[in-house]
Amino acid sequence: MSDINTVQKEIIDEFSILGDDRESTIFYIMELGDKLPDFPDAEKVDENIIKGCQSKVWLTTRTEGDRVLFLADSNTDITKGLISLLIRVLSGRRAEEILQADLYFIEKIGMGNIIGSQRSNGLAAMITQMKRYALAYQSKMNAS
């Protein structure tokens, strides 16, 4: 598995091909969301909703050994694409890697200009929730 910065560079390269074509970029983000694994309907409950997102975003997590795995879904295509990017970068990492991750790809691809302030706030809420899960796992592992 590539490290976090390598994955971020791959994403930056993919988005650079699209240039400044906002419509193509949004379409690409929505395509990325389509590639997320199916999210179980039974997990679409209030306690899995990320607070602070205008759209509904459900996020669950589990561990495999010392790795944190994320699964998510959203009721809007663009938001589903955004969470898919975060999962691509953060899922399968150790908790400490997630907590220390500098997600610079978001700024490098001009995401704030693409999605606007409401979705930018939601994106920040998604990152915060993923880091909270990582912190909880790290605390749990340190207590063992």
- Enumerate the active-site residues: 53
Please count the other Cβ atoms lying within 10 Å of the Cβ belonging to residue 142. Answer: 8
Q: In this structure, how many other beta carbons lie within 10 angstroms of the beta carbon of residue 19?
A: 9
Report the alpha-carbon distance of residue 57 to residue 74 in Å, rounded: 4
d(CA 31, CA 106): 17
- Beta-strand pair 57-64/67-74: antiparallel
Q: 61 pairs with which residues across the strands? A: 70
